[in-house]
Structure 1
């Protein structure tokens, strides 16, 4: 089970001017949570996947679940008004108090409100691809993290099989190529994801071009070895400044192995 961790300021490999206030990260603990709590988390996951095309933002469900359990809220009974019933000062105070207590349970000890940086779909693939080409993918991202990244990408795949630049965006070649390559590098087979991978590959083949940034989509597919380098648009000259051992370097195929 996952637990949201907040920085305590004792981070030997990090430097900060504010004692790392606001830093948040998820840590996996296989022994955390009761069977009932784990079932509740799994139910929330399944509900999100089921309704992912209607509500594409997670609303920080796991964070709310954890903080609601750790910061016990004193529940105030809700007063529902009937049509035409007068709003009294007592009802207003009760409503405001309930709202304040609810949000106080979601506040971190150092004062901030943790939240998911949801939206962009072009940032995470850069991390996955970068770790892969440097040989550090399995070191930096344990199997539990890789599994959740795959879940995240599948949950934000569009109905047509592609991905956009963000979770609300229409499918683009750039976004689809990035997410497809990431899933393959994270161990998904070409027939994996209950057909999701095949659907994404079909979208790429059916739209055989670049719809956002010329050459980038094809370039990432070439990194994975499923598209010919010769079919790419001319690369930017800055690519020659990259280390030779990176597969995206124009001279990679001609340089001696290191």
Structure 2
């Protein structure tokens, strides 16, 4: 089972801290943690969630989340961690994980950092948000967003780097994602961030990425020259 470790670094050579890991939260998979009954209960809960994904209505799901957070806020039931900080999850944005996988891949550390369970959970996360929110086969900028070329391209690449074939993935996830990309202008329709990551991975020439000084990121996003504008000419 997965265990949440608070303010611990262990002997992991990839974790470094200047404050003794205060505020650090990491998930560690331990196949022998918990009793056999507890492990079976967790596995059944995971299967139950996936098997009922089509029955989740976005409206009711959003309302449930709002009610959950409201109760946590007003009842102050969010527990404080042992090291004094209040844990929080930052999993809404869908362009965090793919770049990490890309970096680990190009540096040759993907297999040593990502265990089989890390791959399994990362892929499951991608499958869930492709099917529950975006049945068109793509991914949005966040878990409630409509499909975008940026995150669909990154998620497709992430699945392939984690071992899925061109037509692999649960319920044809890769096939659906590739079709969305081709139907919406191909990967060349990516905004600047997307093109940059394609170039970092080595599947696109750097000449296709516009040089962009960092000052441009502070301009309003609605302006045509903003790097995030989804355009074939960007």
Once the two structures are superposed, the pairs formed by residues 167-206 of structure 1 within 5 Å of their partners are 167-193=143-169, 194-206=171-183
Q: Tell me by how many angstroms 1:38 deviates.
A: 1.8
Of 90, 105, 119, 1:146 maps to 119
| Separation (CA, whole Å) in 2 of partners of 1:156 and 1:131 | 23
Pair member with larger Rg = 1
| Separation (CA, whole Å) in 1 of partners of 2:207 and 2:9 | 47
Give a deviation string over 1:73-130, Cα, whole Å, max 9, x none. Answer: xxxxxxxxxxxxxxxxxxxxxxxxxx56xx37x4322233323211111111111011
Flag as ranges the 4+ runs of structure 1 deviating above 6 A.
9-12
Indicate the SS of the match to 1:149.
Answer: helix
Give the TM-score normalised by the residue count of structure 2. 0.68
| Separation (CA, whole Å) in 1 of partners of 2:36 and 2:167 | 33
| Separation (CA, whole Å) in 2 of partners of 1:133 and 1:9 | 25
Count the aligned residue pairs: 190
1:114 paired to 2:87:
yes
2:37 alignment counterpart? 36
2:106 alignment counterpart? 133
2:16 alignment counterpart? 14
Q: What stretches of structure 2 of length at least 5 have no aligned partner?
A: 66-74, 213-234
- Asked if the contact 1:9/1:21 (under 8 Å) is kept, the reply is no
Give the TM-score normalised by the residue count of structure 1. 0.62
| Separation (CA, whole Å) in 1 of partners of 2:165 and 2:192 | 27
- Asked if the contact 2:195/2:209 (under 8 Å) is kept, the reply is no
Q: Tell me by how many angstroms 1:204 deviates.
A: 1.0
Once the two structures are superposed, the pairs formed by residues 1-258 of structure 1 within 5 Å of their partners are 1-8=1-8, 14-17=16-19, 19-49=20-50, 50-51=52-53, 54=58, 55=61, 103=77, 106-157=79-130, 158-193=134-169, 194-209=171-186, 213-214=191-192, 216=194, 220=198, 223=201, 229=204, 234-237=208-211
Indicate the SS of the match to 1:204.
Answer: helix
- Asked if the contact 2:102/2:201 (under 8 Å) is kept, the reply is no
Q: Tell me by how many angstroms 1:223 deviates.
A: 4.5
Q: Decide whether aligned partners of structure 1 residues 198 and 53 sit closer, same or farther in structure 2, where only a CA change above 3 A counts.
A: farther
Give a deviation string over 1:226-257, Cα, whole Å, max 9, x none. Answer: xxx47x9732458xxxxxxxxxxxxxxxxxxx
Q: Please tell me the root mean square deviation across aligned C-alpha atoms, in Å.
A: 3.3
Q: Tell me by how many angstroms 1:219 deviates.
A: 6.5
Q: Tell me by how many angstroms 1:165 deviates.
A: 1.1
